[in-house]
Structure 1
């Protein structure tokens, strides 16, 4: 069949909105869980067609574990949640999104039973079950008794599931995460941090002795980390006398160990450190992440790093520091867990992605040896989340493959990007001499990374003759601490300028007069900044802000939620500058897109959820009203019941159709 020639952006595509909606829950990895006693594997499944609820699935049978449409696993601790379930010896404990209570469920029970009191103000997350007293859970507790963000109290607590009693355990820090009992249950470790830090800018790891009778701690010991300077994350027990954690003290996250002994100090695990992060592709915005695991012999561990935006896998001898890179094809490795086997071969599972295939649950079987080069391993896909491609309904040659690049800005600074070219085997290209229109995408966070996985929303555009450019602007994770810190004090400036510069630098591939910019959350703020206060507000032909920040001052004065209460200040205000309130207010006003309405000439689409507590709907409204009053082109859609991100099928479908239609009209692709 002779390929057709038609204008870029107007190619007929068999990839429909319904295909994207079907796969929408899999754009981001869904957690997996392993029962450490029974070694059973469980998957979580987001279901847009069922109101966006999250259910637990038995990996072996494929059946829902907890029956009933009313159950929705999730928590709103830190507003972003995560870490909403744990399982041990066939007993599940989970947070129910509708009422924030913790429930107990054992397979065979008729229905889950609540194990925390009724409360309108308590939220729980990141559980661990005591190994010898399984009725005891340690949990992060977020107490909203006082409604203002500054008075929300975060702590660690013990939940006695036999009595529904909640006992305070650790107080004093602003945030806690990763509480984990030692194998014998006599000790506990955790991570904590204080405002104005986020966990990835400065945090600490502690351990303490735990008394199961008094439910109290003693011999509390600081291990590592430093406020504002060193981030230490994901502490875990390698054995009864050794803990492992990741620290960015060298400028890149590296594994460290702490062995219990008199005058013990943390030590680097690797004999030869890497010049890239041994960590996942995003900081801990939510609970429950894991990017490494200790193997069955407690002497070796599997670590993943992020190099040039893709996952790399290392088998490591914890004692000697020797490492061996494994040939594993997956470009992401999320929620890494050990399936205990007790034998010489360890089984590790994780959620992995490829650039041309669906998200999958992957098992890596490893038999360590000395030297490590003689170790044996096998990669096996256990299950995958089906797409129209994996089912064979559409050919794989329709998939546009990512092209990672590092560009150089006019100032000589690196800008990391990923480019997807227009791809559709039915077409040979656009009209003679034509270059394709391009979507420039700014990820959220802003401390995050745009992955190179198969994303059907991107393919929805590329199969229609669009190019797609993801910009991992300054501040993105995955490129070391220095690149991430480069956004501090420059948010709303550096990120917007990087998006414009990256788009210009691709002028040999795309039509720079037909470039649109879009982004969610922090990416929405980048969009609005690029269109209002950047060096070239008229550069883009259209833009879409998905629940982005329009007025920094309004957001801060309207009681910003506690988790990010100081983060915006950290990102916008250079450290040590503008200490007086008038100076700070002036800076926040200057960095607010709403303050630069007179410069906005680009048509703008605003998409927002009415139940968003991270970026409230008032932000969308003030931007819409301001542009409308100024005579600009602006459209807005608010989705009922949606929070920070759209979960429901009808919202996802409408937002996608609305956005593409907006671009087609603004770029006059369709007459």
Structure 2
């Protein structure tokens, strides 16, 4: 095969926007479900081609459990998650269209509502009592008064037989992860209070459970761990009837902990680290979404944990008795949704760097050696998404001037088997991705939207700027009071550093991001107008004051902490860091992509910014997407976004294809 030299960014690629949109959304696993009685595996899957609904699928047969009229989603904590569970062949799920909880026997029966019709009540994170399966404890978010400061959250019990809902615990601002022990005589849960988020400060609680004549009640709650200004304990679950495991960041990093108690005197139990020495790795994951567990019980004394280190997930087995830890060799870049049955099996979703996501099963053989087995069918090579074009990332911890701070990045080099680099001494143009959150992070698993660019001769860089989670408390809290400053400094300085190292051409750098990432794009445009040649803001935040007015309960105090005070305390700072007030400074070409139904960032904000830029003859394009909110759920939207972004960036960098095939004149290599 002949290989060509051609300018970076002009290569021809079979990876089309249509193929990327179809593939990325066909996978779309949003939840992994393990039936604790039958050990059967199911998963919830996002379906943009079906108007964005979520389906529940039998992992062994790949058959949907119900028809297209059902949407297994919840909006508890706004981000949702944990909308379904299966217990002994019975599915319980929250239906987005009416917010009611439904029960269905997985034998072809139609779903039956088990909660009253009331659209002010949102249900999620279900725990079925192991001895009385008609009793289900879950989290409820009560929007009777819809103002975020007055939305209530509590734990309730649903009686599936009587179709009633009764409150069990209230008083904290948030509840999650209610879990029964195997006997059903104790329950553990996580709770936290404003202004914290669950990975900043949260506590684990435990209570005795009594069921008398069909009525379930809790005893007085016992504090297990967490809840100080700087300590967060999260993601609780059971290894045995008297041992709870969870993560806690007393050391500055979320590490594995346990709580062991006597059932006669549970208040005398003791919480302690599982490991003899703390590890500077983050175990588990930030709980933006309910029930994205980073641990699962293999047995009564062995628990699988996932941590994050050097840009990749690390799978461990922790021995609760010996306090040691063992790494499980695997090739996956990202692992999440761990579910264990404490009888020798843990299920999880594994995402390689060079292939699609797979469901895997972790077990121990007769010698105690860990075994990993795929539960997914072998993927068939997609001619529109060929594996030979996949660019794998390189993790780097960059030391940035002038203060020698660290920024974590994933660098993807250009890759296309039909080309042998660009012209002599040419460095590739680079597209930089800024994640949302802002307390989030970008992982290194295969993402075809990145390959869409690298296969065309672009470098792609994910910047996990100061504030990103999974790098420890100090790194996460470095963004406090500095949002809109530190994030854009890290993004810009990282590209200058990579340019100096020869990886990218900083003079041909463009940037994109969604939500908080879109905000950083707009901040770059107003504060560092010549840092990037162009930017694309996906549903980006423009006005901090208006954002603060519409933020939901979960993030109600987000702006106060990241701006360094309330609006009343430091109005000047809020205005200085709101791009909408500085749109007249924008000279960087901008592509603004906005959902018409976005309630977090009203389309009017972006329309106003575009009008201001155009009045100064600036280059700006606005695309409004009907039926889309704060985030893309439709495959057609993703396709349009990719096509318009590429076209816009090519135009700005003058990379348009003049030969009809993406190539430029250059020597052919035989």
Query: TM range, normalised to the smaller chain?
Result: over 0.9
Matched with 1:544 is 536
SS at match of 1:250: coil
Divergent runs of 4+, >6 A? none
2:331 corresponds to which residue?
A: 329
How far residue 26 of structure 1 moved from its aligned partner, in angstroms, is 6.2
Report if the CA contact (8 A) 2:295-2:306 is conserved: yes
Post-superposition offset of 1:622: 3.5
SS in 1 for 2:237: strand
Cα distance, 1:236–1:479 mapped onto 2, change above 3 Å: same
SS of the residue aligned with 2:221?
strand
* Alignment match of 1:461 (pick from 430, 448, 453): 453
Which residue of the other structure, out of 638, 651, 671, is the alignment partner of 2:624? Answer: 638
Report the Cα offset of residue 135 of structure 1: 0.8
Aligned to 2:662: none
One of 557, 563, 567 as aligned partner of 1:566: 557
| 1:474 is the counterpart of 2:466 | yes
What corresponds to 1:117 in structure 2? 116
Give the whole-Å Cα distance in 2 for the aligned partners of 1:429 and 1:546. 31
Residue 667 of structure 2 corresponds to which residue in structure 1?
none
Aligned counterpart, 1:306: 308
In structure 2, what is the equivalent of residue 238 of structure 1?
239
Q: Give a deviation string over 1:333-376, Cα, whole Å, max 9, x none.
A: 11111256x5xxx222211111111111112221486xxxxx31
Residue 440 (structure 1) aligned to one of 411, 432, 437: 432
User: Partner residue of 2:279?
Assistant: 274
Equivalent residue, structure 2, for 1:210: 209
SS in 2 for 1:21: helix
CA offset at residue 403 of structure 1? 0.8
- 1:532 paired to 2:526: yes
Residue in 2 that maps onto 1:247: 248
Helix, strand or coil at the partner of 2:220: strand
What are the equivalent positions in structure 2 for 1:493-532 lying under 5 Å apart? 493-507=485-499, 508-532=502-526
Alignment of 1:70-469 (within 5 A): 70-213=69-212, 214-261=215-262, 263-280=268-285, 283-296=286-299, 298-339=300-341, 342=343, 346-367=344-365, 375-383=368-376, 386=379, 390-391=381-382, 395-410=386-401, 411-469=403-461
Aligned residues: CA RMSD: 1.8
Deviation per CA, 1:289-320, whole angstroms, max 9, x where unpaired?
Answer: 11111113x01111111111111122221012
In 2 relative to 1, CA 95–385 (structure 1 residues): closer, same or farther, beyond 3 Å? farther
2:304–2:316 contact (8 Å) kept in structure 1: yes
Write out per-residue CA displacement over residues 109-143 of structure 1, whole angstroms, 9 at most, x where no aligned residue. 43111111111211111111111111111111111
TM-aligned CA deviation for residue 392 of structure 1? 6.2
Instruction: Name the SS for the 1:202 alignment partner.
Output: coil
Greater shift, 452-461 or 28-37, is seen at 28-37
> Counterparts of 1:4 and 1:132 in 2: how far apart (Å)?
67
* Equivalent-residue separation in structure 1 for 2:573 and 2:197 (angstroms): 22
Aligned residue pairs total 648
Inter-partner Cα distance in structure 2 for 1:155 and 1:35? 25
- Structure 2 distance, partners of 1:455, 1:225, is 36
Q: Secondary structure at the match of 2:191?
A: strand
Cα distance in 1, alignment partners of residues 143 and 600 from structure 2: 15
Instruction: Tell me, in whole angstroms, the C-alpha distance in 2 between the residues paired with 1:618 and 1:73.
Output: 31
Q: Structure 1: which 5+ residue stretches go unaligned?
A: 370-374
**1:201·1:227 contact (CA, 8 Å) conserved in 2?**
no
Q: Deviations over 1:202-247 (max 9, x none)?
A: 1111111223244332221111112431111101111111111100
Residues 571-586 of structure 1 mapped to structure 2, 5 A cutoff: 571-573=562-564, 578=565, 582-586=568-572
Aligned-pair distance for 1:29?
Answer: 4.8
Look up the SS of the partner of 2:376 in the other structure. Answer: strand
CA distance in 1, matches of 2:232, 2:29: 24
